Each structure stands twice: as C-alpha cells, then as structure tokens.
Amino acid sequence: MVKHILKRLVLLLPTILGVVTLVFFMIALAPGDPARVMLGERANAAQIAQLRAELGLDEPLIKQYGLYLSRVVRFDLGKSITSGQQVAEEIGKLFPATIELAFMAMIFASVLGILLGVTSAIKRNTWVDYTTMGGALFGVSMPVFWLGLVLIMIFSVWLDLLPTGGRMNIRYYFTPITNFYVIDGLILLFKEGTAKYLVSAIQHLILPTIALGTIPLAIIARTTRSSMLEVLQQDYIKTARSAGIREKRVIYRYALRNALLPVITVIGIQFGLLLSGAILTETVFSWPGIGKWLYVAIGARDYPSVQGGIIFISVFFVLINLVVDILYSVVNPKIRLQ
C-alpha cells in the first residue's frame, strides 16, 4: 500500500510542473500591463518602467519563468497587486470558506446522488426511474448562477426563510476560531452553550450548497444507476439471490460496493471541479472564499493573485485525484496488487 502511494506521489511531480508552466505562460502572454494597472491610467512612462523593473517584468520571458518557478518551489506566490499582501496568505485565509462550501456540497451531492442512482436502478423502467433520470438531466442542464438566483428569489425574497448571502449573520459579534464556521459554531455550542452561531452558519450554507451541488448530484446519480445496472446482471448477484439472501443485503452489501469504483472516480473529479464552479456560486451568494476572490482578481487584472489562485486550485485538484487512486486501492485490492 505504501509503495503504491509513493509511486503515485512521484507521478504527481511532472503534472504539477506542467500546471505551473501552463498557468504562467497563459497569464504572462495575456494582453495588458500589470504595472500600468497598479499605477493607474495617469502614470507616466518613467513610473511604469520603474515598476516593471522592480517586478522583473522587463526581463526576458524565460528568465521570468525561471524566477517564478523558483519562488513557487519555496511556496512564494508573490504579492497581490490590489491589496499588497502575500497571495499565499490571502489563499490561506479564504480557503476554509471555499473548502467548507465544497465539502458540504459534495456530501449533499454524493449521499443524495448515490441514493437516487441505486433507487433508479432497482426500479428500472418505472415512473421512479424516469422521474429520477429526468430530474438528473434537468439538474445537469441548469447553469449554477441561474439556479443560485432562482433559489435566492424563492427562499430569500418570496418566502424569507434563508439569507441571501454571506457566511454569518452580520448582527452577531462573531470571532472565527478555525475559519470553518460550522466547526466554530459547534465549538461555541459546547463552550458557551449558545446555538445561534451554528444555526446561522448552517442557514447561510443551505442555498449555496444546493446551487453548487446540483450538477454533481445529477452526474453521480446517472453514474450510479449505470454502474448498478451493470453489476446487477453479474452471475454472483444472481447466485446470491438464488441462495435466499435478503434483497437489501444483495443490493447494498454486494452490488453497491462493486458498483462504487466508477462512482468514486466521478466524486473525486466533481469535488475538484467544485472549486472552479465555486467562482460563480461564491459570487452570486457573496461567499467570501477563493472563488469570489479570483473573480475580483480577474476583473482587476491582478496577475499574481490569478496565477496563485489557479495554481492552488489545480494542485488541489491533482491531490484529489491522488486520494481517488488510494480509495481505489482500498475498495478494490486487485488495483493495489497490479
């Protein structure tokens, strides 16, 4: 098992190098001058030239790439043009908000998606199957920003049940402990005996979680259904049924476990994609995470922030794939032996 993990870690290095290289040249070759953006339109040529020299933008592109690569190796992603703070520090502050939203959306999508997929496979060619798969097709087709606005209109404006955005009620005097607001709410619940922070954090999570998790939910449901239908046709399932084993045990103990391999792949990929999808969701719901921060950075042509944010999300996506490979080995030992 350890040898399998180490092999996957070694294979990650050229992938990460390729991501860093691609991101650098895509941003560096984009139109626009970061120095002019920082100084504003009233800056003269001498001021712009001086700032370009300070930032190393007057060096050849290959040398700029070498310098940037050396900084990335030291986990130095540069300074933000707009705020002047270290990009790595800003990512560290904002990442808990994004990972909390993505994690909750993935739980929502995985649990409900697998349940609907299994139910649809068991009730194949019935109204339950048609309704579930029709809903899945509708879920995949809905843009995240449109669904977010619809949810806000219904549950926040018309019904006045849930907040329109943010992470916590602004009327509460709340000092984050871990920056994961649900965890902070639980800590304060046991420490101070008050549940209002936990309730507020969950209320603010509901709408963005549904908006962000709908597309993964639909994909997971369709994948689970297809995989379950294939497994249910296998001989060992027929043997288990003929042996008199209870149907629920056959479905959830034998069939589902073997059908989970492609589902795990989809869950891993979708969890990584949630970080990129969070850009729209966080913007619509004013969620203070990496997605909204990247949206603002792109609008301001804050190249160091855009480069650092994309590299961070890409590396995180690669690490998620590593976790998926390890889960493969746990679910199916044959992969580990190969």
**Does the pLDDT of residue 181 top 80, yes or no?**
yes
pLDDT of residue 337: 52
pLDDT, position 332: 61
pLDDT of residue 124: 87
Query: What pLDDT is recorded for position 4?
Result: 65
> What is the average per-residue pLDDT within 14-26?
85
Name the residue among 93, 95, 101 with its Cα closest to residue 204.
101
Pairwise pLDDT comparison (108 vs 279), residue with the higher score: 108
Same domain, 158 and 51: no
pLDDT tens digits, 41-87: 677 778 778 877 776 777 788 888 888 888 888 888 888 877 888 89
Domain tally, the chain: 2
Asked whether residue 45 is assigned to any structural domain, the reply reads yes
pLDDT exceeds cutoff 80 at 309: yes
Do 257 and 119 lie in a common domain?
Answer: yes
Q: What is the overall mean pLDDT for the chain?
A: 84
Residue at 330 is within a domain: yes
Residue 65 and residue 212 in one domain: no
pLDDT for residue 142 is more than 80 = yes
Query: What is the 8-class DSSP label of residue 163?
Result: -
SS3 86: strand
335 pLDDT exceeds 60? no
Residue 79: strand, helix, or coil:
strand
| Predicted confidence (pLDDT) at residue 276 exceeds the cutoff of 70 | no
Is 33 part of a structural domain of the chain? yes
Mean pLDDT score, 187-191? 90
> Is residue 56 domain-shared with residue 103, that is, in the same domain?
no
DSSP string for 103-124: HHHHHHHHHHHHHHHHHHHHTT
Phi, psi of 244, rounded to the nearest 5 degrees = 85, 15
- Same domain, yes or no, for 159 and 256? yes
State the average pLDDT over residues 101-124: 92
Same domain, 205 and 332: yes
Residue 1 included in any domain: no
At 117, is the pLDDT very low, low, confident or very high (cuts 50, 70, 90)? Answer: very high
Question: Does residue 135 sit in the same domain as residue 279?
Answer: yes
Residue 91 lies in a domain: no
Query: CATH number, domain at 282?
Result: 1.10.3720.10
Q: Which domain holds residue 25?
A: 14-73
In a domain, 3, yes or no: no
What pLDDT was estimated at residue 78? 82
Interval 148-169 mean pLDDT: 92
Q: Does residue 297 lie in a domain region? A: yes
Question: Is the Cβ–Cβ distance between 332 and 261 less than 8 Å?
Answer: yes
Domain membership flag for residue 167 = yes
Q: How far apart are CA 2 and CA 293, in angstroms?
A: 37
Q: Which helix (H) or strand (E) holds 243?
A: none
Domain stop point among 58, 73, 88: 73
Q: Are residues 67 and 103 in the same domain?
A: no
Cβ atoms 121, 228 nearer than 8 A: yes
pLDDT at site 1: 61
Is the Cβ–Cβ distance between 88 and 76 less than 8 Å? yes
326 and 214 within one domain: yes
| Mean pLDDT, rounded, for 186-202 | 91
Q: Is the pLDDT of residue 7 over 80?
A: no
Per-residue pLDDT tens for 168-180? 988 888 888 888 9
User: What does the pLDDT average to over 100-129?
Assistant: 91
Residue 191: pLDDT above 60? Answer: yes
Q: Is the pLDDT of residue 296 over 80?
A: yes
Q: Are residues 67 and 146 in the same domain?
A: no
Question: In this predicted structure, what is the pLDDT of residue 27?
Answer: 76
